[in-house]
Amino acid sequence: MFGLSTTELVVIVLIVLLLFGGKKIPELMRGLGKGVKSFKEGMNEVEKDLGVDDGQPDDKPKPTAQTETKAQERE
């Protein structure tokens, strides 16, 4: 994950515990969670305002004369 080994992750967690203490960690994570949630809501609102769809086509594309010609050439 992120190019970090297990040992490196453990060291990072220990440093964070030393810097912030056990009681501050839940508050930090709660704030981070609220920030991520707010960011996602903002992104969804912008997509809705711009009319951006989910990227999935509604129907299969209708064949054009060019694609029909290419298909006939392959047969």
3-state SS string for the chain:
CCCCCHHHHHHHHHHHHHHHHHHHHHHHHHHHHHHHHHHHHHHHHHHHHHCCCCCCCCCCCCCCHHHHHHHHHHC
- pLDDT tens string 25-71: 888 889 989 999 999 999 999 988 888 666 666 566 666 666 566 66
Does the pTM of the predicted model rise above 0.75? no
pLDDT of residue 21: 83
Q: What are the boundaries of each domain within the chain?
A: 22-51
